[in-house]
Structure 1
Amino acid sequence: MTRFLAMGRMTDAMSLLRRFSVFHILGAYILSIVGLFVIAQPFGSAPRALCRWDCFWYERIAARGYDLHPILDGFEAGMADWAFFPLYPLLLRLVSYMTGMDGHESGMLINIVLLPVLALLSLSYVRRKGYVADHVAYWTILFMVFPTAVWYRFPYTESLYGALLVGCAYAARVGSIGLACGLAAGLCATRPTGLVCVVSIGLFRMLGTWRPGVAGSARQMGVRFLEGAAIIAVGATGLAAFILYLDRLTGDGLAFLHIQYSWRHSTHLPTTWLWYGLTHKGLTVATVLDLLAFSIIPYGFYIGWYFESTVLLLTFGLATSAGLSSVHRYVFANPFCLMLILTVIDKSTPLVRYSVLILALCVDYILLESWFYGYAFLM
């Protein structure tokens, strides 16, 4: 009898546990991974199908380090891997060493782990900010399968960059300055736009604008100023370390910037590039996608997400000043952009919410297939 009572209690406990959002989120995420393996089967395997374009550069850096000289022949003549920042290749090498997996598998594993971490970090961030997601499981699942989240599954820096950005902003917001500084250094060592994000986080901490209406004493303002300055200073060490390394390796500490000319990137005003894209037929699609990404930013300012919108605006401006390729990826794959989109959808009617979820799954499938076939608009 006792045994049956114990089994009954266990069944009741499991029934209760299933009501928690974590089981819905985990179940949906596992299904999405299984689906990814299924649709990638005709292309050999999911890790192999996911690795396109920049993925090979990251894997080469992870396997043998940075080049001493630019490539001299072939399709990549004049290019060098100095354009790619070191934190993701280091993580790729570490995971490969610890698991024995090859580069393709290690890159996929990194994103499998980081995507739910980023989704839950983003949920915690918006709730801490004062926005309460009404449907936690729905919000988190949609975050992971929304079309703009497709880049989080590619073996690129998007998931790592997003987790570091949201983690750093969240830590600074709650006053964990030591953690914010460490994450800021990682952010600056992941991508060139990391520095503008870190400067934004530091400045907003200095000004105390993350706590509107609370001016505080002169001492409190001084402390916040020093905390913001520390985030910027320590964060910049991530970029400084890469500059010093390149200087020692190649004699040019800014080689990551100068080598961009090999990819036909040149510095102009964003408006110049956008006008050029609109007036040249081959760049129309990229330009329209870039402008569509930009359209999210004014909405962020309108609803009072000043810090997040500033980060998106600076990211867009910096990326567009060098060309039109990948600009929409830098903005759409920024978690702040996805947060802004989801705040609108989450407040909609059940019919709209679940229609969006079904549509998102369909578009996600199309985008993954496009990536597997090598369509470059997702680069």
Structure 2
Amino acid sequence: MTHASTIPAPARESGAGGRGRPVPAPRRLSTTAAGALGLFAAARLTGVLVLSVAAWAQGKQPLALLGRSWDSVWYLGIAAHGYGHTLHVGPAVARSDLAFFPLYPALIRCVTALTPLGGGAAGLVVAWTAAAAAAYGIYLVGARLHGPAVATLLVLLWGLLPHSVVLSMAYTEPVLTAFAAWSLYAVLTGRWVWAGALAALAGLARPNGVAVAAAVLAAAACEIFRARGRDVSHSLWTGAALAPLGWGGYVLWVGRREGDPLGGYFAVQRLWGSRFDFGRGSLGFVKHLLLHGGRFVFPMTMVIVAAAILLFALLVADRAPLPLLVHSGVLLLIALGGSGFFECKPRFLLPAFPLLLPPAGALVRTARARPWHATLVVGALAGLSFAYGAYLVAVAHTPL
């Protein structure tokens, strides 16, 4: 397996101790990359078809559910009218659109300006394009570390997560994951300016986009430490300087607008009921859930988050490269430590695709030894993903 370094040595096919034949050069990966993207597209298309059947059975329009559900409405409002809308729900709850980062609505606005599409359709075009770009970036990361077979399973598993229906909706997770995957790939291949620039764009996509900047900064710090400050390239310093600009710039802009440069954005989040309390709120909710029960989405959320914790432990044991560990670890920390909207935590973890590297490697080994076993596993995951995704969007009536 690849050791916990910033830029790994030439990758090899996954196996015990990382032994195996060298991974083919990138120019020879085009066929397998296309196959991986085809599997991802087939998975998501099937998920949308199942969702459509469930929506029609409920008397609802599938495209309306995909393009104008929950947070999508806020993003479309920002794209059409800019910032400045606040919804007063109660005396201590004021939901301001300043809680939503600007990159996705800006992309929607660009599409509506350049095409005859409306806001909802433009949001879907941006999200679907970003999901495809993310899948290709994920493939490249997996192929560099463990070869094309693991990379293909990595992409497929990402498209079959229980919450992967979000990748087909007008949401920001595909955009964040696309920039995260390509930024991490740039780090692994030593393209520091690209890594920093893409991390800055990731930071403009979502609040937890800060995880990408943290990964780039951690990798850069590791390289600087190893060099003892000598012979450090200008591109590395430039990439490290660029990485936090997107997230930090928006947080400071909101803070200045709210009259508190450092705390204004977090005050906006608190009025939404969201704060980072090191998991106290989540633990209290879990205790209440265990004692009194709740809707189906809540125990499913507990299972998904618990699985993510286990997968992170496996990723650490696998000695994955530092930027992947930091990226996934920060995303997991934000999901676990944040209070409010407990049912949204699986969605917050969608960009943490490196967590799927251990099961992807295990599935490849299973497929080689017992193909039918691997087929049954993938089939079961697909069934869960399609059914649960349709339930979330068309039936559950709960925030995603």
TM-score range normalised by the length of the shorter chain: 0.7 to 0.9
Name the SS of the counterpart of 1:311 in structure 2.
helix
Match of 2:348 in 1: 330
Q: Which residues in structure 2 correspond to 1:1-379 (within 5 Å)?
A: 22=34, 25-26=37-38, 29=41, 32-33=44-45, 36-37=48-49, 39-40=51-52, 42=56, 44-50=60-66, 51-67=68-84, 70-72=86-88, 78-129=94-145, 131-134=146-149, 140-208=155-223, 219-220=230-231, 222-223=232-233, 227-247=235-255, 249-253=257-261, 254-270=263-279, 272-281=280-289, 285=299, 286-307=301-322, 308-323=324-339, 325=342, 326-348=344-366, 349-375=370-396, 379=400
Deviation at 1:169, TM superposition (A): 1.2
For 2:152 and 2:211, the matched residues in 1 are separated by 32
In structure 2, the CA distance between the partners of 1:343 and 1:256, relative to structure 1 (3 Å rule), is farther
Q: TM-score, normalised by structure 1?
A: 0.80
Relative to structure 2, which stretch is displaced further, 25-34 or 91-100? 25-34
Relative to structure 2, which stretch is displaced further, 155-164 or 100-109? 100-109
Deviation at 1:240, TM superposition (A): 3.6
Does structure 2 conserve the Cα–Cα contact (< 8 Å) formed by 1:147 and 1:363?
Answer: yes
Deviation at 1:298, TM superposition (A): 0.6
In structure 2, the CA distance between the partners of 1:357 and 1:87, relative to structure 1 (3 Å rule), is same
In structure 2, the CA distance between the partners of 1:260 and 1:374, relative to structure 1 (3 Å rule), is farther
Q: CA RMSD in A?
A: 3.3
Deviation at 1:149, TM superposition (A): 3.0
Report the identity percentage: 18
- Number of paired residues? 352
Task: Write out per-residue CA displacement over residues 28-60 of structure 1, whole angstroms, 9 at most, x where no aligned residue.
Answer: 725843762564261554331223211111111
Name the SS of the counterpart of 1:147 in structure 2.
coil
Task: Write out per-residue CA displacement over residues 107-163 of structure 1, whole angstroms, 9 at most, x where no aligned residue.
Answer: 22122222222122111112212x113376555444433435333222211111111
Task: Write out per-residue CA displacement over residues 313-360 of structure 1, whole angstroms, 9 at most, x where no aligned residue.
Answer: 222223333215222322244222233432322221311221122222
Name the SS of the counterpart of 2:313 in structure 1.
helix
Aligned-partner residue type, residue 55 of structure 1:
S
Relative to structure 2, which stretch is displaced further, 19-28 or 116-125? 19-28
Larger radius of gyration: 1
Aligned-partner residue type, residue 253 of structure 2:
Y
Q: TM-score, normalised by structure 2?
A: 0.76
Does structure 2 conserve the Cα–Cα contact (< 8 Å) formed by 1:148 and 1:338?
Answer: no
For 1:305 and 1:364, the matched residues in 2 are separated by 27
Does structure 1 conserve the Cα–Cα contact (< 8 Å) formed by 2:200 and 2:247?
Answer: yes
In structure 2, the CA distance between the partners of 1:111 and 1:75, relative to structure 1 (3 Å rule), is farther
Aligned-partner residue type, residue 95 of structure 1:
V
Task: Flag structure 1 segments of 5+ consecutive residues without an equivalent.
Answer: 1-18
For 1:34 and 1:230, the matched residues in 2 are separated by 43
For 2:153 and 2:198, the matched residues in 1 are separated by 28
Name the SS of the counterpart of 1:110 in structure 2.
helix
For 1:257 and 1:249, the matched residues in 2 are separated by 13
Name the SS of the counterpart of 1:304 in structure 2.
coil
Does structure 1 conserve the Cα–Cα contact (< 8 Å) formed by 2:180 and 2:199?
Answer: yes
